[in-house]
Each structure stands twice: as C-alpha cells, then as structure tokens.
Amino acid sequence: MMRLMTLKVSFVMLVATMLVGCATKAQSGALIGGAAGAGAGAIIGHQSGHAGGGALIGGAVGALGGAVVGNEMDKSDERDERARERDRYYGRYEDRYDSRGYGRSERDYDRRYR
C-alpha cells in the first residue's frame, strides 16, 4: 500500500515539474526525454537484471535527445519570428510608398494637381 502511494506521489511530482519547470522547448525536451528514457531504460534493464543501470543510461540518452530536438524547435520558432518581423516591416514600407518611390502624400498631390 505504501509503495502504491509513493508511486502516485512521484508521478504527480514528475507531471508538475514537466508543466512548470521549463522556460524553453530545449529544457522541456530534456526533461521529458530524460523521464521517458529513464522509464524505457528501467524496463529494458529490468529484463536483463540491471534496472538501475538501464534507467541511468536511458535517462541520459533521452535527456540528450530531447534537448537536441527542443533546441531545434527553439531555433525554428526564432526563425519564424524573424520572418514575421521582416514581413511586418516590408508590409509597412510598401503601404507607405508606391513602386515609383513616391510617398502616398506625394502621389495624392500629383493626382490632384495634374
């Protein structure tokens, strides 16, 4: 009974840490990958009689893989944000000027007085 309660509390703490403790996708990926890798390593290691070593190796490999994937996701988000900023800037520029380089007020002036 005590073991089941410990397992439940550990699971709740793990989920709470995953939801709150990370600022970037790289950190989240490392945490989730480490937990998943440790779980998979413990299961595989248990079959061969070395659950602790399997969990340790699986956790390390999972954390490394999760951090790499999360870092790439952070880089992709940063590239997307730069592209949005660039499009927003050029959109404002194109709204202000026409293809001949005249500003809107100059173009309106030319139309009125020609």
Residues 9-66 have pLDDT tens digits of 777 777 776 666 677 888 888 888 988 898 888 888 888 888 888 888 998 999 999 9
Of residues 38 and 101, more confidence is placed in 38
Residue 101 to residues 51, 82, 87, 105: CA-CA distances in angstroms? Answer: 71, 26, 19, 12
pLDDT at site 28: 85
The amino acid at residue 85 is E
